Amino acid sequence: MQETILNDGLKKEEISKSIISILKTDFSVRISNTDYDINLFTPKFNFKPRDMIYLMILLEKKYQIKFSIDDIDNLSFYTIYGLSNIIMHHIGL
């Protein structure tokens, strides 16, 4: 049980780091370690709705998943940790 929790934590961290890498590379978003739970649409990030659509497409391709309307309606979808959890759910972790 502890190993599963640890593995899930590692997977979440790996997914979070890949999201951060995409945000830095494709959107020039600067993120610190304390920003993982902050909504991407806050003025701190200056993220636009079209950016979110592009990010969704990139993540769907990378993880071979499809985000649902329920995913998009979930407010946690707009944070790095929230996106990581949703991706983990879709890939079965």
The domain limits of the chain are: 2-90
Specify the pTM. Answer: 0.86
Q: For residue 66, is it left (φ>0), alpha (ψ between -120 and 50) or beta?
A: beta
- Give 51's contacts (C-beta < 8 A, 6+ positions apart): 27, 40
Tokens of 82: 């929230």
Considering the segment(s) 2-90 as one domain, its CATH architecture is Orthogonal Bundle (1.10)
- The 10s digit of each residue's pLDDT in 17-26 is 999 999 999 9
- The 10s digit of each residue's pLDDT in 63-80 is 999 999 999 999 999 999
pLDDT band for 3, please (50, 70, 90 cuts): very low
